[in-house]
Amino acid sequence: MVSIPILWFVFHISKALFSVPAGIVSDRIGRKKVMILAWIVYGLVYLGFAFASQAIHVWVLFVIYGFFYGLSEGTERAWVSDLVEEPRRGTAFGAYYFTIGVGALPASLLLGVLWKTFGVAWAFSFGAVMALIAALLAVILMGNPKRR
């Protein structure tokens, strides 16, 4: 139990270390590409959590989970800013955070129900599949918006 706060500390250090380089890459190659990579990383991390069998697996996965957050958090916000004209950005960010907030509770509840009903592997595998589907849909459905 003592290692749990240290594990979260490692996660946040990883997230902080990857955030600036990810922002630079996002500025250079585009938000969509970085977000697709982030969703793939998320899916792979969740698959890792589904089948982790040793403590070292969890430690490594938390570092990679920090990499996902480093890739995604700033990039998502920059993408929102890129997609919406300046006079509407406040509304866009409000809608963005509303959607994140409204989606987080049922997603967490579903993960808990799957975990309790079918076990940890099914719960995390479901999350992984959803992230990988999101990445695939982004590739298929999203055109290349003009960059500013």
Q: What percent of the chain has pLDDT over 70?
A: 95
Q: Which residues, at least 6 apart from 122, have a Cβ–Cβ distance to it below 8 Å?
A: 50, 114, 115
Give the integer Cα–Cα distance in Å for 122 and 67: 23
What is the pLDDT of the chain when averaged over all its residues? 93
pLDDT band for 60, please (50, 70, 90 cuts).
very high
Q: What is the DSSP string of 69-87?
A: HHHHHHHHHHHHHHHS-GG
Domains recognised in the chain with CATH numbers = 3-141 (1.20.1250.20)
Give the integer Cα–Cα distance in Å for 80 and 73: 11
Residue 72, CA distances (Å) to 1, 26, 67, 115 in order: 29, 10, 9, 25
pLDDT tens by residue, 135-144:
999 899 886 6
Q: Residue with structure tokens 């957050």?
A: 69
Give the integer Cα–Cα distance in Å for 41 and 70: 11
Q: What percent of the chain has pLDDT over 90?
A: 92
pLDDT band for 148, please (50, 70, 90 cuts).
very low
